[in-house]
Protein backbone atom coordinates (compact mmCIF):
# COMPACT_ATOMS: atom_id res chain seq x y z
CA UNK A 1 0.00 0.00 0.00
CA UNK A 2 1.37 3.40 -1.01
CA UNK A 3 2.00 5.79 1.89
CA UNK A 4 2.85 9.47 2.03
CA UNK A 5 6.04 10.70 3.66
CA UNK A 6 7.91 13.98 3.92
CA UNK A 7 11.15 14.30 1.99
CA UNK A 8 13.55 16.95 0.70
CA UNK A 9 13.38 17.50 -3.07
CA UNK A 10 15.25 19.72 -5.53
CA UNK A 11 13.52 21.33 -8.51
CA UNK A 12 16.49 23.49 -9.58
CA UNK A 13 20.23 23.53 -9.06
CA UNK A 14 21.59 26.19 -6.75
CA UNK A 15 22.31 27.14 -3.15
CA UNK A 16 20.85 25.74 0.07
CA UNK A 17 17.53 27.50 -0.60
CA UNK A 18 16.65 25.02 -3.37
CA UNK A 19 16.16 22.27 -0.77
CA UNK A 20 12.38 21.98 -0.28
CA UNK A 21 10.45 19.80 2.17
CA UNK A 22 7.53 18.20 0.32
CA UNK A 23 5.14 15.27 0.69
CA UNK A 24 5.82 12.35 -1.67
CA UNK A 25 4.29 8.96 -2.37
CA UNK A 26 6.17 5.92 -1.11
CA UNK A 27 5.05 2.69 -2.82
CA UNK A 28 5.62 -0.81 -1.40
CA UNK A 29 9.16 -2.14 -1.93
CA UNK A 30 10.09 -3.96 -5.14
CA UNK A 31 11.16 -7.60 -4.80
CA UNK A 32 14.82 -6.68 -4.24
CA UNK A 33 14.15 -3.68 -1.97
CA UNK A 34 13.36 -2.91 1.65
CA UNK A 35 11.34 -0.01 3.08
CA UNK A 36 13.19 1.80 5.86
CA UNK A 37 11.51 4.04 8.44
CA UNK A 38 14.43 6.40 9.00
CA UNK A 39 15.72 7.63 12.35
CA UNK A 40 18.66 9.82 11.31
CA UNK A 41 20.29 10.99 8.07
CA UNK A 42 23.96 11.70 7.44
CA UNK A 43 25.10 14.91 5.75
CA UNK A 44 28.04 14.84 3.34
CA UNK A 45 29.88 17.15 0.95
CA UNK A 46 28.72 14.79 -1.78
CA UNK A 47 25.20 16.14 -1.18
CA UNK A 48 26.39 19.65 -2.00
CA UNK A 49 27.89 18.43 -5.28
CA UNK A 50 24.49 17.05 -6.32
CA UNK A 51 22.59 20.13 -5.11
CA UNK A 52 24.88 22.57 -6.93
CA UNK A 53 24.96 20.60 -10.17
CA UNK A 54 28.66 19.64 -10.01
CA UNK A 55 27.35 16.08 -10.24
CA UNK A 56 24.37 16.60 -12.60
CA UNK A 57 21.16 14.62 -12.21
CA UNK A 58 17.80 14.95 -14.02
CA UNK A 59 15.45 17.28 -12.13
CA UNK A 60 13.52 17.06 -9.91
CA UNK A 61 15.29 14.66 -7.58
CA UNK A 62 15.86 13.77 -3.94
CA UNK A 63 19.15 14.16 -2.14
CA UNK A 64 21.33 12.31 0.35
CA UNK A 65 22.83 8.84 0.36
CA UNK A 66 23.30 7.86 4.02
CA UNK A 67 20.90 7.08 6.86
CA UNK A 68 19.83 4.63 9.54
CA UNK A 69 16.48 3.29 10.64
CA UNK A 70 14.25 0.24 10.99
CA UNK A 71 13.09 -2.10 8.23
CA UNK A 72 9.36 -1.59 7.75
CA UNK A 73 8.74 -3.89 4.76
CA UNK A 74 10.77 -6.44 2.79
CA UNK A 75 10.65 -7.34 -0.90
CA UNK A 76 9.95 -10.95 -1.91
CA UNK A 77 13.55 -11.75 -2.96
CA UNK A 78 15.33 -10.26 0.06
CA UNK A 79 16.91 -12.86 2.33
CA UNK A 80 19.45 -11.10 4.58
CA UNK A 81 17.02 -8.61 6.16
CA UNK A 82 13.64 -8.82 7.89
CA UNK A 83 10.99 -6.46 9.26
CA UNK A 84 12.17 -4.87 12.50
CA UNK A 85 15.89 -5.06 11.75
CA UNK A 86 17.96 -2.04 12.76
CA UNK A 87 19.84 -1.06 9.62
CA UNK A 88 22.06 1.55 8.01
CA UNK A 89 23.38 2.40 4.58
CA UNK A 90 26.05 4.73 3.23
CA UNK A 91 25.71 4.39 -0.50
CA UNK A 92 22.38 4.72 -2.20
CA UNK A 93 20.28 6.22 -4.96
CA UNK A 94 19.61 9.86 -4.07
CA UNK A 95 16.80 10.29 -1.57
CA UNK A 96 18.09 9.76 1.99
CA UNK A 97 16.68 13.10 3.20
CA UNK A 98 13.28 11.56 3.97
CA UNK A 99 11.13 10.16 6.76
CA UNK A 100 11.03 6.78 5.00
CA UNK A 101 12.22 5.36 1.69
CA UNK A 102 12.78 2.22 -0.35
CA UNK A 103 16.35 0.99 -0.73
CA UNK A 104 18.06 -1.70 -2.81
CA UNK A 105 18.57 -4.39 -0.18
CA UNK A 106 22.13 -5.21 -1.30
CA UNK A 107 23.25 -1.75 -0.11
CA UNK A 108 21.72 -2.11 3.37
CA UNK A 109 23.51 -3.70 6.33
CA UNK A 110 22.34 -4.63 9.81
CA UNK A 111 23.37 -2.15 12.48
CA UNK A 112 24.83 -3.77 15.62
CA UNK A 113 22.88 -3.09 18.82
CA UNK A 114 25.95 -1.42 20.31
CA UNK A 115 25.79 1.34 17.67
CA UNK A 116 23.01 3.95 17.94
CA UNK A 117 20.95 5.29 15.04
CA UNK A 118 22.65 8.70 15.08
CA UNK A 119 26.06 7.03 15.10
CA UNK A 120 24.95 4.74 12.28
CA UNK A 121 23.76 7.65 10.15
CA UNK A 122 26.93 9.61 10.85
CA UNK A 123 29.35 6.75 10.27
CA UNK A 124 28.32 4.81 7.19
CA UNK A 125 29.52 6.88 4.24
CA UNK A 126 32.43 8.41 6.11
CA UNK A 127 33.34 5.11 7.75
CA UNK A 128 33.13 3.07 4.57
CA UNK A 129 35.11 5.81 2.83
CA UNK A 130 37.78 5.60 5.53
CA UNK A 131 37.83 1.82 5.19
CA UNK A 132 38.38 1.84 1.43
CA UNK A 133 40.97 4.63 1.66
CA UNK A 134 43.13 3.18 4.44
CA UNK A 135 42.50 -0.54 3.87
CA UNK A 136 41.98 -0.88 0.11
CA UNK A 137 43.19 2.11 -1.95
CA UNK A 138 46.53 2.30 -0.12
CA UNK A 139 46.62 -0.48 2.45
CA UNK A 140 48.39 0.94 5.47
CA UNK A 141 50.57 -1.59 7.24
CA UNK A 142 51.66 0.36 10.31
CA UNK A 143 54.75 2.51 10.79
CA UNK A 144 54.00 4.92 7.94
CA UNK A 145 53.65 8.69 8.23
CA UNK A 146 50.86 10.03 5.99
CA UNK A 147 49.30 13.39 5.08
CA UNK A 148 45.54 13.85 5.38
CA UNK A 149 43.89 17.12 4.33
CA UNK A 150 40.73 18.49 6.04
CA UNK A 151 41.64 16.36 9.01
CA UNK A 152 38.96 17.84 11.31
CA UNK A 153 36.09 16.82 9.01
CA UNK A 154 34.00 13.69 9.37
CA UNK A 155 36.27 11.43 7.31
CA UNK A 156 39.41 13.06 8.66
CA UNK A 157 38.57 12.40 12.30
CA UNK A 158 37.76 8.77 11.57
CA UNK A 159 40.96 8.39 9.57
CA UNK A 160 43.01 9.76 12.48
CA UNK A 161 41.55 7.19 14.86
CA UNK A 162 41.76 4.26 12.45
CA UNK A 163 45.33 5.11 11.40
CA UNK A 164 46.48 5.47 15.00
CA UNK A 165 44.99 2.06 15.80
CA UNK A 166 47.10 0.67 12.93
CA UNK A 167 50.26 2.33 14.23
CA UNK A 168 50.34 5.03 11.54
CA UNK A 169 51.28 8.69 12.16
CA UNK A 170 48.83 11.18 10.62
CA UNK A 171 49.94 14.67 9.67
CA UNK A 172 46.74 16.64 9.15
CA UNK A 173 45.89 20.03 7.71
CA UNK A 174 43.13 22.32 8.94
CA UNK A 175 42.22 26.00 9.23
CA UNK A 176 42.04 26.88 12.94
CA UNK A 177 43.55 26.07 16.34
CA UNK A 178 40.18 24.67 17.46
CA UNK A 179 40.03 22.22 14.57
CA UNK A 180 43.68 21.30 15.11
CA UNK A 181 42.96 20.49 18.75
CA UNK A 182 40.00 18.33 17.74
CA UNK A 183 42.15 16.39 15.28
CA UNK A 184 44.88 15.88 17.88
CA UNK A 185 42.28 14.64 20.35
CA UNK A 186 41.21 12.07 17.76
CA UNK A 187 44.68 10.70 17.18
CA UNK A 188 46.44 12.98 14.70
CA UNK A 189 50.20 13.01 15.28
CA UNK A 190 50.75 16.58 14.09
CA UNK A 191 48.39 19.17 12.58
CA UNK A 192 49.34 22.00 10.21
CA UNK A 193 47.25 25.19 10.17
CA UNK A 194 47.38 25.98 6.46
CA UNK A 195 46.21 29.57 7.06
CA UNK A 196 49.39 30.33 9.00
CA UNK A 197 51.95 27.71 8.02
CA UNK A 198 53.53 26.45 4.80
CA UNK A 199 52.25 22.89 4.46
CA UNK A 200 55.12 21.58 2.30
CA UNK A 201 57.80 23.06 4.55
CA UNK A 202 56.15 21.62 7.67
CA UNK A 203 55.81 18.16 6.11
CA UNK A 204 59.52 18.24 5.22
CA UNK A 205 60.35 19.22 8.81
CA UNK A 206 58.12 16.58 10.38
CA UNK A 207 59.44 13.78 8.16
CA UNK A 208 63.13 14.83 8.34
CA UNK A 209 63.03 15.58 4.62
CA UNK A 210 61.58 12.20 3.64
CA UNK A 211 58.05 13.41 2.76
CA UNK A 212 55.16 10.90 2.82
CA UNK A 213 54.26 7.80 0.77
CA UNK A 214 50.57 8.73 0.42
CA UNK A 215 48.44 11.87 0.58
CA UNK A 216 44.68 11.67 1.11
CA UNK A 217 43.08 14.77 -0.38
CA UNK A 218 39.35 15.61 -0.38
CA UNK A 219 39.89 19.34 -0.91
CA UNK A 220 40.69 19.26 -4.63
CA UNK A 221 41.80 22.29 -6.60
CA UNK A 222 43.28 24.33 -3.72
CA UNK A 223 45.59 21.59 -2.43
CA UNK A 224 46.51 19.70 -5.63
CA UNK A 225 50.05 21.06 -6.10
CA UNK A 226 50.73 21.13 -2.36
CA UNK A 227 49.82 17.46 -2.14
CA UNK A 228 52.15 16.49 -4.98
CA UNK A 229 55.02 18.40 -3.35
CA UNK A 230 54.57 16.42 -0.11
CA UNK A 231 54.96 13.00 -1.76
CA UNK A 232 57.99 10.77 -1.81
CA UNK A 233 59.20 9.56 -5.23
CA UNK A 234 56.67 7.00 -6.53
CA UNK A 235 54.22 8.12 -3.84
CA UNK A 236 50.46 7.93 -4.26
CA UNK A 237 48.13 10.92 -4.41
CA UNK A 238 44.61 9.81 -3.43
CA UNK A 239 42.21 12.52 -4.62
CA UNK A 240 38.80 11.58 -3.22
CA UNK A 241 36.88 14.87 -3.13
CA UNK A 242 36.40 18.36 -4.53
CA UNK A 243 35.55 20.58 -1.56
CA UNK A 244 37.34 23.58 -3.13
CA UNK A 245 36.39 22.64 -6.70
CA UNK A 246 37.60 19.97 -9.12
CA UNK A 247 41.21 19.60 -10.22
CA UNK A 248 41.27 20.69 -13.87
CA UNK A 249 43.77 21.05 -16.70
CA UNK A 250 46.23 18.53 -15.31
CA UNK A 251 49.42 18.00 -17.28
CA UNK A 252 50.41 14.40 -16.55
CA UNK A 253 54.06 15.35 -17.08
CA UNK A 254 54.02 17.00 -13.65
CA UNK A 255 53.86 13.52 -12.11
CA UNK A 256 57.18 12.69 -13.72
CA UNK A 257 58.94 15.89 -12.72
CA UNK A 258 57.84 15.52 -9.10
CA UNK A 259 59.10 11.96 -8.69
CA UNK A 260 57.24 9.45 -10.88
CA UNK A 261 54.14 9.91 -8.77
CA UNK A 262 50.89 7.96 -8.93
CA UNK A 263 47.43 9.53 -8.78
CA UNK A 264 44.07 7.84 -8.24
CA UNK A 265 40.56 9.31 -8.11
CA UNK A 266 38.65 6.52 -6.33
CA UNK A 267 34.99 6.34 -5.43
CA UNK A 268 33.34 4.18 -2.79
CA UNK A 269 30.90 2.43 -5.13
CA UNK A 270 33.67 0.51 -6.88
CA UNK A 271 34.97 -0.89 -3.58
CA UNK A 272 31.59 -2.15 -2.28
CA UNK A 273 30.00 -3.20 -5.56
CA UNK A 274 28.37 -6.40 -4.24
CA UNK A 275 26.44 -7.24 -1.08
CA UNK A 276 29.39 -9.41 0.01
CA UNK A 277 31.93 -6.59 -0.40
CA UNK A 278 29.60 -4.11 1.29
CA UNK A 279 29.05 -6.49 4.22
CA UNK A 280 32.79 -7.14 4.58
CA UNK A 281 33.68 -3.44 4.62
CA UNK A 282 30.87 -2.66 7.09
CA UNK A 283 31.92 -5.56 9.33
CA UNK A 284 35.47 -4.18 9.61
CA UNK A 285 34.11 -0.69 10.26
CA UNK A 286 31.66 -1.84 12.94
CA UNK A 287 34.34 -3.96 14.63
CA UNK A 288 36.56 -0.87 14.95
CA UNK A 289 33.67 1.02 16.60
CA UNK A 290 32.55 -1.72 18.97
CA UNK A 291 36.17 -2.34 19.99
CA UNK A 292 36.43 1.30 20.99
CA UNK A 293 39.11 2.09 18.40
CA UNK A 294 36.84 4.55 16.59
CA UNK A 295 34.48 7.00 18.24
CA UNK A 296 31.91 8.87 16.17
CA UNK A 297 32.01 12.64 16.69
CA UNK A 298 28.69 14.29 15.82
CA UNK A 299 29.33 18.02 15.88
CA UNK A 300 26.00 19.29 14.55
CA UNK A 301 22.35 18.20 14.47
CA UNK A 302 19.61 19.80 12.36
CA UNK A 303 15.99 18.70 11.96
CA UNK A 304 15.10 17.41 8.49
CA UNK A 305 13.22 20.59 7.56
CA UNK A 306 16.38 22.66 8.21
CA UNK A 307 18.47 20.81 5.63
CA UNK A 308 19.25 24.15 3.96
CA UNK A 309 20.82 25.51 7.15
CA UNK A 310 22.86 22.33 7.46
CA UNK A 311 24.16 22.71 3.90
CA UNK A 312 25.09 26.35 4.48
CA UNK A 313 27.09 25.41 7.58
CA UNK A 314 28.89 22.57 5.81
CA UNK A 315 29.70 24.60 2.69
CA UNK A 316 30.92 27.48 4.85
CA UNK A 317 33.36 25.16 6.65
CA UNK A 318 31.62 25.97 9.94
CA UNK A 319 31.25 22.35 11.03
CA UNK A 320 33.38 19.95 13.04
CA UNK A 321 33.07 16.21 12.75
CA UNK A 322 29.89 14.72 11.37
CA UNK A 323 26.59 16.51 10.76
CA UNK A 324 23.25 14.71 10.88
CA UNK A 325 19.62 15.47 10.12
CA UNK A 326 17.22 14.19 12.74
CA UNK A 327 13.95 12.60 11.67
CA UNK A 328 10.94 12.88 13.99
Which of 53-67, 81-95, 188-202, 308-322 shows the lowest mean pLDDT across its residues? 308-322
Q: What is the CATH number of the domain that holds 45?
A: 3.90.180.10
Burial of residue 189 (number of CB atoms within 10 Å: 0-12, 13-18, 19+): middle
What is the rounded average pLDDT for all residues in the chain?
Answer: 94
Q: What is the CATH number of the domain that holds 244?
A: 3.40.50.720
* Residue 53, strand partner residues: none
Residue 135 domain flag: no
Residues 252 and 151 in one domain: yes
Residues 43 and 154 in one domain: no
Q: How far apart are CA 132 and CA 305, in angstroms?
A: 32
Please report the beta strands in 143-297, taking only residues with DSSP state E, as ranges in sequence order.
145-148, 169-174, 190-193, 212-217, 231-239, 262-264
- pLDDT digits 0-9 by tens, 100-137: 999 999 999 999 999 999 999 999 998 999 999 999 99
Domain containing 112: what range? 3-124+272-326
Residue 136 domain flag: no
- pLDDT digits 0-9 by tens, 253-265: 999 999 999 999 9
Residue 133 domain flag: no
- Binned at pLDDT 50, 70 and 90, residue 90 comes out as very high
Residues 67 and 110 in one domain: yes
- Binned at pLDDT 50, 70 and 90, residue 328 comes out as confident
Residue 192 has pLDDT above 90, yes or no: yes
Domain termination residue (choose one: 265, 282, 300): 265
* Percent of the chain topping pLDDT 70: 100
- pLDDT digits 0-9 by tens, 234-255: 999 999 988 778 888 889 999 9
The pLDDT, as a whole number, for residue 243 is: 75
Question: CA nearest 266: which of 236, 240, 243, 235?
Answer: 240
Residue 130 domain flag: no
Neighbours of 149 (CB within 10 A): 29
- Binned at pLDDT 50, 70 and 90, residue 29 comes out as very high
Length of the chain: 328
Burial of residue 5 (number of CB atoms within 10 Å: 0-12, 13-18, 19+): middle
The pLDDT, as a whole number, for residue 247 is: 85
The pLDDT, as a whole number, for residue 250 is: 85
pTM of the model: 0.87
Residues 187 and 84 in one domain: no
The pLDDT, as a whole number, for residue 246 is: 81
Residues 86 and 191 in one domain: no
If one counts the domains in the chain, the total is: 2
- Binned at pLDDT 50, 70 and 90, residue 319 comes out as confident
Amino acid sequence: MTQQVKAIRIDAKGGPDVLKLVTVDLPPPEKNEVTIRQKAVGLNFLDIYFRSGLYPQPLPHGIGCEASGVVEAVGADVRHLKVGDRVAYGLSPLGAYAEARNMPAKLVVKLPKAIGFEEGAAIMLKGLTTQYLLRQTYRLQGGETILFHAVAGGVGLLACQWAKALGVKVIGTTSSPEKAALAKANGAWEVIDYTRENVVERVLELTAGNKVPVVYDSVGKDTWLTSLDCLQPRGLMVSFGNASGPVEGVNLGILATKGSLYVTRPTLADFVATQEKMAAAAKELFSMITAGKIKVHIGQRFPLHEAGKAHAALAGRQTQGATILTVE
